[in-house]
Amino acid sequence: FGGLMADLERRGAIGATPHDPGLPVHTAWDLGMSDATAIWFCQAAPGGEFRFIDYYECQGVGLDHYVKILDAKPYVYGRHIAPHDIRVRELGTGKSRLETAAGLGLRFDVCPNIPLVDGINAVRLLLPKCRFDASACEPGIEALRHYRREFSERMNTFHPLPLHDWTSHATDAFRYFSVGFRPPRQGRLPQRTVNDFNPFGREK
């Protein structure tokens, strides 16, 4: 997606993109098992612009860690989008991560399981409508810039599928947003103070 990201940069769509307290923040996740989990934070603005205001990536921690990260941010949350394999039951617990997340107060919308190529095309269609905060989203932006197909030295050609490397987690999470996001409501949120808002309904 290097060319599309360069287009965004040329027109000033990668820069300061502050959080708008009047709009809900939606998240899209790539949930790693033994490797990284990536989360994009996006606000869908009136007029069809998607503002990616934040990004978080970590590895080696459980879902409870990510719930605390979300809980600590001053956002009013909308939809949380996860990949289809969140429904798979884990051997150790016998529970799916979807069930584990629900037990922590985090309820996911599950992204449709469509072919990877179709998901990549969905990203291409979405990117021209996007704006990114250059500072808060820097790791995710770099991943989108450098995502690429794997090259076969033996065949001297590119494989049809992307290379799985450091760019994969951020790009996969962005793909799940591109495929799975549907606006929950129209218009802006009512005016409210958001600094004390707890999106999971627990006492601080």
**Which CATH number fits the domain that encloses residue 140?**
3.30.420.280
Report field, pTM of the whole predicted structure over 0.95: no
Q: Would you say residue 189 lies in a domain?
A: no
Question: What is the per-residue pLDDT for 204?
Answer: 36
pLDDT for 198 equals 47
Q: How many domains does the chain have?
A: 1
- Confidence tier at 127 by pLDDT (50, 70, 90): very high
Each residue's pLDDT tens digit, 41-91: 999 999 999 999 999 999 999 999 999 999 999 999 999 999 999 998 876
Most distant CA pair in the chain, distance = 60
* Rounded Cα distance, 89 and 96, in Å: 4
Residue 155 inside a domain? The answer is yes
Q: Are 71 and 64 in contact (CB under 8 A)?
A: no
Q: What is the pLDDT of residues 91-110, one digit of tens each?
A: 667 789 999 999 999 999 99
State both tokens at 118: 């179709």
Looking at the domain assignment, is residue 194 inside a domain?
Answer: no
Q: CA-CA distance, 204 to 201, in Å (whole number)? A: 9
Cβ–Cβ under 8 Å, residues 19 and 137: no
**How high is the mean pLDDT of the chain?**
86
